[in-house]
């Protein structure tokens, strides 16, 4: 292997794929990044056995070849090299020799054939989505996924492809977030898969400014998904299992409906959460004509009370939530106003941004003595 490439390209490429480098692993080679020549490009590959990232950078290839070297070592070295310089790489035996300006390094590598094989997805359901919509979807849904592993399917985000619609949903047993976005290319059959939250977070980070669309492929036995960007590919394993049927959890009607400003509501909830910290995060909402009262109290510390202007339709209502669940959802909304619908203190509250019917958030209430 013999090639040359630019420092900034290599440095950027390494910073992208190193997100997929394993941190704690039983397979030491997954701490490495694989360098492979691919026609007139250099392919960088990293995997943690849950997802694999490949990134291509332009290079002048004189001799084909491949090697894996410790990812951290290589990226730290490359990052420290002067920007804008050309890097010459040469493989001698299993040692990768790098030359840049007046700096030289030799890094001992491991044969690329020992690297876990990166799964290939040639067939399966294929579609693509607009970047902006996907980004918003990821931002508004992923945080609702469960963090602990006690119910594995809930640690991922349920993605349903049907016709030209993609529905992303995440739930952790106390809340549910559902986001619908259009597909640029309709799918022939309905497909439902569970994508690990971490994959979507990484994908969100990957999407650069110059990207417009992301191509998406699911293999026929629904164990793998491929996300394809201009210069980067992300292959992720999919969580196996059935996601709960969540559509029946979304209340169809409501007794009271309040419309408030997102910013104001968020401020009031954040304030109430300060006092609620001691008492299991309980934030009480009282909806009465023209206003919502947001309050919380702690037996030992004190209490707080906030009032917001609101358009309230229907009866007066009282309901209590965990403050964290309210602030989580209110902080990801882009719209100015939001509606909160409730039926009674023991049925779930529904939050929808005003002017966008693509997003629904359902939060379970907390039972309190009023």
Partner 1 sequence: MWTIIGHKAAVSLLERGLEKGTISHAYLLVGPAHVGKMKLAVKLAQAVNCESPERPCGQCAACLKIAEGKHADIQVIELEQPAENESAGKTKISVEQIEQILHSVNLPPFEGKHKVFIIDGFENLSIAAANRLLKTLEEPVSQVVFILLTTRENLVPQTIVSRCQRIELAPLPYNEIEEALLTRWHVEPLKARLLARLSAGCLGWAVNMVEDDSLLQQRNDWLDEWLEVLPSDYDKRFVFAAKLVEKFNQNRDVLQQKLDLWLNWWRDVLLVKTGNPETITNVDREETLTQIAGEYNLDEIRAFITRIKTASRQLRMNANPQLVMEVLMLNFPENGKVSSPVR
Contact residues toward partner 1 (CB under 8 A) are 24, 26-27, 29-30, 49-50, 114, 116-117, 119, 149-150, 152-153, 155, 196, 223-224, 237-241
Beta carbons within 10 angstroms of residue 317's beta carbon: 23
Q: Are 283 and 320 in contact (CB under 8 A)?
A: yes
Nearer to partner 1, 115 or 216 (CB): 115
Spell out the long-range contacts of 164-169 with Cβ–Cβ below 8 A and sequence spacing 24 or more: 166/127, 166/129, 166/137, 168/137, 168/138, 168/141, 169/141, 169/243, 169/246
Provide, rounded to whole angstroms, the least separation between the CB of residue 6 and partner 1. Answer: 32
Q: In terms of CB distance, is 49 or 274 closer to partner 1?
A: 49
Supply the minimum distance, in Å, between the C-beta of residue 195 and partner 1: 11
Q: Give min distance, CB of 76 to partner 1, in A.
A: 21
| Least distance between partner 1 and beta carbon 281 (Å) | 24
Using the minimum distance from each CB to partner 1, give the nearer residue, 224 or 283. Answer: 224
Shortest separation between residue 153's beta carbon and partner 1, angstroms: 8
117/355 with CB nearer partner 1: 117
Select 23 or 248, whichever has its Cβ closest to partner 1: 23
Paired sense of beta strands 349-353 and 317-322, if any: unpaired
Select 120 or 230, whichever has its Cβ closest to partner 1. Answer: 120
CA distance 192 to 166: 10
* Rounded Cα distance, 337 and 330, in Å: 10
- Smallest distance, partner 1 to C-beta of residue 69, A: 17
3 state DSSP class of 201: helix
Closer Cβ to partner 1, 68 or 327, answer by number: 68
Dist. CA 37–CA 44, nearest whole Å:
9
SS3 track for 256-297: EEEEEEHHHHHHHHHHHHHHHCCCCCEEEEEEECCEEEEEEE
Q: At what angle do helices 323-332 and 131-141 cross, to 10 degrees?
A: 170
Residue 223 vs 331, nearer CB to partner 1 = 223
Question: Least distance from C-beta 116 to partner 1, angstroms?
Answer: 4
Q: How far is it, in rounded angstroms, from Cα 299 to Cα 106?
A: 64
**DSSP 3-state of 125:** strand
Question: Cα–Cα distance between 196 and 133 in angstroms, integer?
Answer: 19
CB of 154 to partner 1, least distance (A): 11
Closest CA to 42 of 76, 72, 73, 69: 69
Mark residue 136 as left, alpha or beta (left: phi above 0; alpha: psi -120 to 50; beta: remaining).
alpha
Beta carbon of residue 200, minimum distance to partner 1 (angstroms, whole number): 15
* 127 or 219: CB nearest partner 1: 219
């Amino acid at each position: 292997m013999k090639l040359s490439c630019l420092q900034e390209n290599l440095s950027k490429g390494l910073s992208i794929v190193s997100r997929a480098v394993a941190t704690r692993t039983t397979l030491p080679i997954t701490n490495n990044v694989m360098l492979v020549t691919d026609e007139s490009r250099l392919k960088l590959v990293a995997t943690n056995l849950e997802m694999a990232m490949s990134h291509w950078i332009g290079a002048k290839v004189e001799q084909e070849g491949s090697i894996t070297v410790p990812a951290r070592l290589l990226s730290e070295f490359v990052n420290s090299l002067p920007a804008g310089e050309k890097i010459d790489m040469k493989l001698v035996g299993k040692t990768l020799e790098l030359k840049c300006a007046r700096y030289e390094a030799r890094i001992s590598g491991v044969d690329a054939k020992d690297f876990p094989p990166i799964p290939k997805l040639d067939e399966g359901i294929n579609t693509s989505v607009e970047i902006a919509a996907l980004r918003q979807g990821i931002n508004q849904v992923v945080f609702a996924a469960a963090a602990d592993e006690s119910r594995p399917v809930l640690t991922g985000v349920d993605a349903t492809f049907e016709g030209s619609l993609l529905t992303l949903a995440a739930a952790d047993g106390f809340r549910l977030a559902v986001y619908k976005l259009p597909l640029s290319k309709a799918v022939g059959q309905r497909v439902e898969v569970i994508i690990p939250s971490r994959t979507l977070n990484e994908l969100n980070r990957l999407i650069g400014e110059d990207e417009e669309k992301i191509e998406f492929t699911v293999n026929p036995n629904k164990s793998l998904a491929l996300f394809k960007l201009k210069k980067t590919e992300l292959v992720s394993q999919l969580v196996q299992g059935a996601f709960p049927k969540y559509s029946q959890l979304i209340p169809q009607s409501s007794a009271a409906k309040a419309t408030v400003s997102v910013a104001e509501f968020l401020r009031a909830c954040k304030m109430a959460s300060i006092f609620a910290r001691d008492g299991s995060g309980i934030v009480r909402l009282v909806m009465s004509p023209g206003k919502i009262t947001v309050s919380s109290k702690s037996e030992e510390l004190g209490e707080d009370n906030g009032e917001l202007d609101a358009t309230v339709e229907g009866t007066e209502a009282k309901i209590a939530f965990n403050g964290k669940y309210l602030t989580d959802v209110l902080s990801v909304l882009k719209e100015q106003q939001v509606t909160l619908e409730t039926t009674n203190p023991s049925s779930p509250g529904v939050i929808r941004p005003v002017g966008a019917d693509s997003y629904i958030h359902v939060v379970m209430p907390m039972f309190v003595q009023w």
